[in-house]
């Protein structure tokens, strides 16, 4: 592909990503994969270059742009080599008209910037939300040690604050490595590993991972429990939950059972586990403002009504967690968002609704309200809020 054709491809992809963000369609990565699956003539260098254009544009624009062309015009303003590709050639974009509007640079939509600033993030922390995420893995201590894995990956470095985390050079082909195929490692952000330790699970416990998804944190819990005890992993998303068991098998995890929940009828499906859990982990569905490093277009998707629905679901899941916890047991509440409505405020509201419960300050990240927070700027991880709650 010529440089102009690469710019045109980025414009087309950005049009699809903008529409998908507006209409609740697939993620940018999925759309990029589909686009190139239909264009086999594009080589790996073309694909990489187009992808870089697309993500550079997404990262640089806070508000959802009007079109892919407006987004690429914004990039072209500071990058003469991109401006030159608007050359009207056969497969390239039409020349730039001086009066054409370009999208405006920014970190996030104005309403979200306000909400994040009110949640205590300063400008440097806001900008760091859009850094490029590093490649982190968790060593499965059921299969081997961190030193075993260190020896298998050139340039690997332990992640501070984790017991089994390693940071790898970008582009390390992790999923094709023998360590991955043999279950010694999983791809997992260092922050995810750190917040899971707040649950303080131990061998022999009964844990409920209420929003287990495909099991990233479930497998962490199982390793921390030494594969001894019981973990009930639940979710309302069948496709995600179905991915958990094969991952558990690969990781040698024997103590997990999965249970699919119907939205709104979670309590009925868990009636037999009332008061049974030493630990309930609630890795709640959230706006994902802490994971923009990986999904920067997510900030074009979020709306205020969607955030309100998420906050209501989180409150309902916390109340359900309280019924599942045994006397003296605890809830660990996690969101990969830095909005107080989903974190600090959510926990304050829980404590007000449940006078018998107290918050125990987690010893990770920085204290934030009754919990703690990790941020890309301060911790070099995705952004998280985590709190540990116990029936007094
Ligand atoms: C942040 S993700 C969980 C990620 C997962 N724990 C991990 O570490 O990979 C939140 C999950 O909550 C699930 N969820 C949404 N509503 C739910 C509900 N009412 N009950 C249980 N899970 C729900 C979503 O399907 C999603 O998988």
DSSP character string of 207-240: EEETT-TTSHHHHHHHHHTTT-SEEEEEES-HHH
283 is in an annotated binding site: yes
pLDDT digits 0-9 by tens, 60-103: 999 999 999 999 999 999 999 999 999 999 999 999 999 999 99
Residues 165 and 244 both lie in one domain: no
Residues 175 and 199 both lie in one domain: no
Report the C-alpha gap between 244 and 214 in whole angstroms: 5
Residues 340 and 310 both lie in one domain: yes
Of 27, 136, 235, which is best to mutate to test ligand 1, by the most ligand atoms within 8 angstroms of its C-beta? 235
Residues 341 and 275 both lie in one domain: yes
What residues line ligand 1, using a CB cutoff of 6 Å?
Answer: 210-214, 216-217, 234-237, 240, 261, 263, 266, 283, 285, 313, 317
What residues have CB less than 8 Å from 189, skipping those under 6 apart?
133, 136, 381, 382
Closest residue to atom 13 of ligand 1, CA basis: 211
Residues 212 and 351 both lie in one domain: yes
Nearest-atom index, ligand 1, CA of 217: 8
Of 213, 270, 273, 290, which is best to mutate to test ligand 1, by the most ligand atoms within 8 angstroms of its C-beta? 213
Residues 176 and 50 both lie in one domain: no
Q: How many CA atoms lie within 13 A of 384 on its CB side?
A: 27
Whole-angstrom distance between the N-terminal and C-terminal Cα of the chain?
Answer: 65
pLDDT digits 0-9 by tens, 326-385: 999 999 999 999 999 999 999 999 999 999 999 999 999 999 999 999 999 999 999 999
Q: Which of 187, 205, 227 marks a domain boundary?
A: 187
Residues 182 and 226 both lie in one domain: no
Asked if residues 201 and 221 have their Cβ atoms less than 8 Å apart, the reply is yes
Q: Is residue 306 part of a domain?
A: yes
Report the C-alpha gap between 293 and 377 in whole angstroms: 11
Closest residue to atom 17 of ligand 1, CA basis: 236
Q: What is the CATH number of the domain that holds 151?
A: 3.30.70.1170
**Rounded average pLDDT over 290-316:** 96
pLDDT digits 0-9 by tens, 198-240: 999 999 999 999 999 999 999 999 999 999 999 999 999 999 9
State in Å: Cα 228 to ligand 1 middle.
24
What residues have CB less than 8 Å from 63, skipping those under 6 apart?
103, 104, 106, 109, 110, 300
ipTM of the complex: 0.99
Q: Which of 106, 127, 147 marks a domain boundary?
A: 106
State in Å: Cα 286 to ligand 1 middle.
9
Asked if residues 191 and 217 have their Cβ atoms less than 8 Å apart, the reply is no
Nearest-atom index, ligand 1, CA of 335: 1
Q: What is the CATH number of the domain that holds 253?
A: 3.40.50.150
Determine the pLDDT at residue 297: 96
Active-site positions read 336
State in Å: Cα 114 to ligand 1 middle.
27
Residues 167 and 259 both lie in one domain: no
Report the C-alpha gap between 63 and 56 in whole angstroms: 14
Please say if the pLDDT value at position 307 is more than 90.
Answer: yes
Determine the pLDDT at residue 299: 96
Nearest-atom index, ligand 1, CA of 220: 8
Q: Is residue 289 part of a domain?
A: yes
> Mean pLDDT in the chain?
96
The 3-state DSSP composition of the chain as helix, strand, coil percent (nearest 5) reads 45, 15, 40
Where would I find the beta strands (DSSP E) of 255-365? 256-260, 277-283, 325-335, 357-360
Q: Is residue 284 part of a domain?
A: yes
Q: Is residue 111 part of a domain?
A: no
Q: Is residue 115 part of a domain?
A: no
CA distances from 337 to 180, 289, 307, 308 (A): 28, 5, 11, 14
DSSP 129: T
Q: What is the CA radius of gyration of the chain?
A: 22
Asked if residues 321 and 358 have their Cβ atoms less than 8 Å apart, the reply is no
How many distinct structural domains can be found in the chain? Answer: 3
Residues 100 and 235 both lie in one domain: no
Residues 158 and 246 both lie in one domain: no
262 is in an annotated binding site: yes
Give me the domain span that covers residue 152. 136-187
Residues 284 and 145 both lie in one domain: no
pTM as predicted? 0.95
23 is in an annotated binding site: no
Long-range contact set of residues 155-161: C-beta below 8 Å, sequence gap at least 24: 159/190, 159/193, 161/190, 161/194, 161/364, 161/379
Closest residue to atom 25 of ligand 1, CA basis: 237
Determine the pLDDT at residue 234: 98
Q: Which of 187, 203, 225 marks a domain boundary?
A: 187
Residue whose C-alpha is closest to residue 317's, from 241, 236, 205, 196: 236
State in Å: Cα 131 to ligand 1 middle.
25
State in Å: Cα 6 to ligand 1 middle.
37
Q: Is residue 113 part of a domain?
A: no
Residues in the chain: 392
pLDDT digits 0-9 by tens, 268-277: 999 999 999 9
Q: Is residue 127 part of a domain?
A: no
Closest residue to atom 7 of ligand 1, CA basis: 216
Query: What b/e sequence results for 286-308 when a residue is b if at least 16 CB atoms lie within 10 Å of its CB, and e otherwise?
Result: bbbbbbbbeebbbbbbbeeeebe
Report the C-alpha gap between 197 and 364 in whole angstroms: 9
pLDDT digits 0-9 by tens, 3-48: 999 999 999 999 999 999 999 999 999 999 999 999 989 899 999 9
Please say if the pLDDT value at position 392 is more than 90.
Answer: no
Residues 85 and 158 both lie in one domain: no
């Amino acid at each position: 592909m010529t440089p102009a054709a690469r710019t045109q491809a980025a414009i087309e992809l950005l049009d699809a990503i903008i529409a998908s963000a507006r209409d609740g369609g697939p993620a940018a990565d999925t759309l990029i994969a589909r686009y190139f699956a239909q264009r086999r003539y594009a080589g790996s260098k073309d694909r990489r270059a187009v992808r870089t254009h697309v993500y550079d544009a997404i990262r640089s624009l806070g508000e959802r742009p009007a079109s892919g062309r407006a987004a690429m015009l914004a990039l072209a303003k500071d990058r003469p080599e991109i401006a030159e590709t608007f050359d009207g050639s056969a497969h390239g974009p039409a020349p730039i008209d001086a009066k054409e509007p370009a999208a405006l640079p920014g970190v996030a939509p104005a309403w979200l910037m306000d909400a994040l600033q009110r949640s205590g993030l300063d400008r440097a922390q806001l900008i760091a939300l859009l850094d490029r995420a590093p490649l982190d893995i968790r060593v499965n201590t059921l299969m081997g040690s961190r030193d075993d894995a260190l020896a298998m990956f050139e340039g690997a470095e332990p992640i501070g604050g984790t017991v089994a985390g390693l940071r790898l050079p970008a582009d390390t082909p992790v999923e094709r490595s023998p360590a991955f195929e043999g279950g010694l490692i999983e791809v997992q952000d260092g922050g995810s590993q750190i917040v899971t330790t707040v649950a303080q699970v131990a061998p022999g416990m009964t844990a409920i991972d209420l929003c287990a998804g495909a099991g990233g944190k479930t497998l962490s819990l199982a390793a921390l429990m030494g594969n001894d005890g019981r973990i009930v992993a639940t979710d309302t998303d069948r496709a995600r939950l179905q991915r958990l068991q094969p991952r558990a098998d690969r990781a040698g995890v024997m103590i997990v059972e999965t249970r699919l929940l119907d939205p709104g009828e979670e309590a009925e499906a868990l009636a037999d586990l009332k008061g049974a859990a030493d630990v309930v982990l609630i890795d709640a569905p959230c706006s994902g403002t802490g994971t923009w490093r990986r999904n920067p277009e997510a900030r074009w998707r979020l709306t205020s009504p969607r955030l309100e629905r998420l906050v209501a679901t989180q409150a309902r899941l916390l109340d359900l967690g309280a019924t599942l916890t045994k006397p003296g047991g605890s809830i660990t509440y996690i969101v990969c968002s830095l909005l107080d409505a989903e974190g600090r405020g959510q926990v304050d509201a829980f404590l007000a609704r449940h006078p018998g419960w107290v918050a125990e300050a987690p010893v990770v990240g920085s204290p934030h309200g009754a919990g703690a927070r990790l941020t890309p700027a301060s911790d070099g991880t995705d952004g998280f809020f985590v709190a540990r709650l116990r029936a007094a």
